[in-house]
Structure 1
């Protein structure tokens, strides 16, 4: 028996320790959350001032003014009702001058509240527009500091960036709205609680105790919901992708030909259900808990109201005090509900801003040498690729043991099947990545130590995944060198070299012709877009020492391909050039051919030398010679 009592006592002590531990954890978590929100808000508020100091000043003044009006009005109402009650009981003791003054003050408060509204709305809308633009500009500026492209190929980083981009037009506005709303509500609540304390000190304390658990738990659940939304952000991207497949012109032909509509709708629904199933459960849990705690809060108000009624019946409170309590409780209940809703909105926006500030603090994965060295102009000894190794972050090995020298003024062709590592080698030369091991030397200087912006100005590239800009034809070409934006002669020369001038001359607006369907512009064929991208590289040829065509003719017919390569060979005379291709019809124009296979350099030589070796190059050539009906 005594052993059972001892065991029970021990269990109770363990439970007490666990309860105390849980309570301490809740307090610690609450303090931590409050600290985090305070830090984020403290960083967000200066952003408002930086964005629009004039509008921010107007809004703060008007919020402070408008928030005090309800309490002032209720206090005036109490005095008026008590004054009128006294006048009805004993007219000789009534102070009608005071009553009239109070009425004037009440009317003035109402006028101020109504007159300030349009000015507040105007300043708020202006600040909201500027804040959205400022957030987007900061995102773009920060993205520009990532000098390599590694982050943009990281799915987690890209998900976060896309979430920031998609919510940048909504969350900063919600943040602003939430801050102003909560500021106004808090001022109103504090003033109301002060008024109530004149009736009984414990009424404000009871109301606060009843509403705080509701506020805290709602915050906690909203934070959990936001985290789930971010966790499921890849599903959001899938939903947008499946929707775009069915709603844009890019896929319209194949969707109809292969009857893919039902397939992509099903994929959309599956992604939607996966994303929202867990979130909807959390929303239901949030609604249930908020309801229970709302009953607790309402019970506190009900108890206070009943107490005041009993006090009034006992003759201990005036009619004005009853009116004050009724109006104050109504305002408090309404504002607590508003505070809860605004706090949830503000919390979500605060979590967005926390992610925004974290993104702004993200460091580039590739460093720049400071002070950097000048880029050799012109190249003297050439470019040395010294035992290059490169593996992507996911572990895929793209290059292994690559070593060769690119001599000044030499044209080299990089050939090999898709996935051989040709484009990766070009990206390393442009320093979009740094090698996993090994180095690239420019006239004996390590590429990592050169001025990166100046180095990239020395390179003109046409990538296989070239961009199609929804700009004019002239602007599309001039993006290769923006100093040529208004130089029509340079634009014409570049377009002639890329074999696209004849097409432009047929258009009524010429180089001012807008392109792309996004803004009702003219749409070009795939080959024409490709020639435009080549012109963009050619516009840079006067300044660039290195010209690169990275699989530039995939959308061209054999004749156009030959013409482009032949033109390229003529244009790069005296320059260092790299021609990347897996189609070998025109590689004979190169001084040397480098053959890559599975990330390794397997053969080097001229066209004739490589055919005589009867190795990888000869195999590829013979396979393609039949296709082009060519013979060597």
Structure 2
């Protein structure tokens, strides 16, 4: 009982928190919708009451032998027709209004989701599978759950108003009739609500299966995997995996839905018996002459309206329950704490950095408890270019993530001119960094916008944009297009698709558009470039990195010789630190890696 009370309190709390959300999204539409809903709720009772008056007027005239007074009849008929016409005319406008309101509501909730995701300053949530299960469920259902919530509230409001007014019509006949019918219906509401909650929780618990289904669908229906699917004939394999995930999800849902249907239909019998008894009682009264024909008709119509609206109330209550559970999950997401502590306003960023950026005994474990770095200590000096090399999984990219505060060290600290990086304002610190990541983004925007994402001020300053274009050596590419910088890119919206190397050069331009940055981070900046483009880039490397402290992460060791220092990582440990020549003379890990590539690519041993 206590669990039920807590659940009900949470349900009501989420319901009342949802109402201001609807109002904020579209206040004018909500005001009109509330007024129309109230009016629609009154119309059935008005029709029933007018029908009673008409029947009683006609019956009185016939039994008394008096002539029917049309001065009384015509206003009643006009009122009945007017109520019917008003209800008919309102319906399409309510439908259109709900559509417009849903557009605004969906956009409002989607923006709240995006805004909340944007407040997560690090990557811990984005590398957590449970986070994706939760977020996917919210994303998938945002286009219809808020609309369903709105429709449920409208239908509930309309049904509730109708029930109250109908009760007002029934009470003069027998006050206990609405009470009997309502009591007979309560068990159905309670049991159905409990199963509705169980169904939603089961759906949420099985969201990994739903995510797998979506993944297998995307594998089969997008161009990303189309070549391998056909070459290796993988269609049957992924469709079978889809079926396995579907059957796992469907089995548990089908069982609960069956139970909900069984108990709801069984308890509906109790409600029907309450109606039957009430109907029998009124018929008996009518035979004794205690009720007029109009009153009998009023009772029959009112009872029908009462039962229909009560059933509609239950159905919408169950739908509302599911939609409120969605809203609860949505509010839990909005209320989730920011995982990384922030310093606001924070220490002033040294401009320029005068002494060094120092990693001091840094350890780091990912959220899955995987150890990535162990006891890392070194310093970066202003204007210095440091290359970081090592095998896959050595921890190279993790160092960049820590330096950009996409994560904080598990232990140890990163100091900038002696100040802990965590004490700086995070947004201001990241403004000091320009970078090309290994998994850079391909944005379906114009070429100008793709570059300016590194510094949105470039959208209003063509000189900054042109500087980045020249630095990234894509002048010929840009000038090749008739619309130049305004060329739409990406085939998602019918734009021009670039090669992998051209996209990578855009990413490099995106780094250089941030002219004021003190740090330049290059994580495999030539991975998609052809040998000539790669050679041209590294020939201009000193020019590109001039005035910036640069970190270069690469597997291609021929490119690290121009670095001032080279750090060698292995299994999360910093094992070597020196210049190219110094490390070759030590004949350690760097020498071994160098010799492998020297033999493979025929590069000089020096």
> Which residue of the partner structure matches residue 577 of structure 2?
604
Q: 1:29 to 1:76 in 2, by over 3 A?
A: farther
List per-residue Cα deviations over 1:525-561 (Å, max 9, x = no partner). Answer: 1111111111110111x21000010122222233322
CA deviation after TM superposition for structure 1 residue 96, in Å: 5.2
Query: Is 1:548 matched with 2:541?
Result: no
Query: Is 1:573 matched with 2:546?
Result: yes
**Runs of 5+ consecutive residues of structure 2 not aligned to the other structure:** none
CA deviation after TM superposition for structure 1 residue 73, in Å: 1.2
One of 158, 162, 167 as aligned partner of 1:188: 162
> Which residue of the partner structure matches residue 23 of structure 2?
49
> Which residue of the partner structure matches residue 614 of structure 1?
587
Q: Distance in 1 between matches of 2:545 and 2:284?
A: 98
> Which residue of the partner structure matches residue 216 of structure 2?
242
Give secondary structure in 2 for the equivalent of 1:585.
helix
> Which residue of the partner structure matches residue 110 of structure 1?
84
Instruction: Check whether the contact 1:69–1:113 (CA below 8 A) recurs between aligned residues.
Output: yes
Q: How many residues get paired?
A: 605
List per-residue Cα deviations over 1:326-381 (Å, max 9, x = no partner). Answer: 11121122222222221122111101111111111111110111331110001100
Q: Distance in 2 between matches of 1:342 and 1:499?
A: 61
Query: Is 1:526 matched with 2:500?
Result: yes
One of 81, 84, 103 as aligned partner of 2:55: 81
List per-residue Cα deviations over 1:267-310 (Å, max 9, x = no partner). Answer: 11111111111001111111111110112211211221122222
CA deviation after TM superposition for structure 1 residue 444, in Å: 1.2
Q: In terms of mean alpha carbon deviation, does 405-414 or 528-537 score higher?
A: 528-537
One of 274, 278, 282 as aligned partner of 2:248: 274
Length-normalised TM-score, structure 2: 0.97
> Which residue of the partner structure matches residue 382 of structure 2?
408
Q: Distance in 2 between matches of 1:121 and 1:115?
A: 11
Q: Distance in 1 between matches of 2:377 and 2:3?
A: 56
The CA RMSD measured in Å over matched residues stands at 1.5
> Which residue of the partner structure matches residue 181 of structure 2?
207
Length-normalised TM-score, structure 1: 0.93
> Which residue of the partner structure matches residue 454 of structure 2?
480
Query: Is 1:303 matched with 2:247?
Result: no
Q: Distance in 1 between matches of 2:466 and 2:194?
A: 62
Q: Distance in 1 between matches of 2:148 and 2:593?
A: 59
Give secondary structure in 1 for the equivalent of 2:75.
helix
List per-residue Cα deviations over 1:378-417 (Å, max 9, x = no partner). Answer: 1100101111010011110110100011000000001111
List per-residue Cα deviations over 1:488-527 (Å, max 9, x = no partner). Answer: 3433332232233222322222221111111011111111
> Which residue of the partner structure matches residue 556 of structure 2?
583
CA deviation after TM superposition for structure 1 residue 84, in Å: 1.1
Give secondary structure in 1 for the equivalent of 2:479.
helix
Instruction: Check whether the contact 1:55–1:123 (CA below 8 A) recurs between aligned residues.
Output: yes
Give secondary structure in 1 for the equivalent of 2:405.
coil
Q: Distance in 1 between matches of 2:6 and 2:548?
A: 61
Give secondary structure in 1 for the equivalent of 2:525.
coil
Give secondary structure in 2 for the equivalent of 1:398.
strand
Instruction: Check whether the contact 1:498–1:567 (CA below 8 A) recurs between aligned residues.
Output: no
Q: Distance in 2 between matches of 1:318 and 1:628?
A: 104
> Which residue of the partner structure matches residue 303 of structure 2?
329
Q: In terms of mean alpha carbon deviation, does 555-564 or 282-291 score higher?
A: 555-564
Q: Distance in 1 between matches of 2:516 and 2:467?
A: 15
Query: Is 1:251 matched with 2:225?
Result: yes
One of 377, 381, 404 as aligned partner of 2:355: 381
One of 164, 179, 183 as aligned partner of 2:138: 164
Q: Distance in 1 between matches of 2:4 and 2:62?
A: 54
> Which residue of the partner structure matches residue 444 of structure 2?
470
Q: Distance in 1 between matches of 2:163 and 2:331?
A: 31
Q: Distance in 1 between matches of 2:343 and 2:187?
A: 53
**Runs of 5+ consecutive residues of structure 1 not aligned to the other structure:** 1-24
CA deviation after TM superposition for structure 1 residue 92, in Å: 4.0
Instruction: Check whether the contact 1:86–1:93 (CA below 8 A) recurs between aligned residues.
Output: no
Q: In terms of mean alpha carbon deviation, does 380-389 or 47-56 score higher?
A: 47-56
> Which residue of the partner structure matches residue 333 of structure 2?
359
Q: Distance in 2 between matches of 1:73 and 1:135?
A: 39
Instruction: Check whether the contact 1:77–1:324 (CA below 8 A) recurs between aligned residues.
Output: yes
Give secondary structure in 2 for the equivalent of 1:153.
coil
Q: In terms of mean alpha carbon deviation, does 293-302 or 451-460 score higher?
A: 293-302
Q: Distance in 1 between matches of 2:547 and 2:9?
A: 63
> Which residue of the partner structure matches residue 8 of structure 1?
none
> Which residue of the partner structure matches residue 509 of structure 1?
483
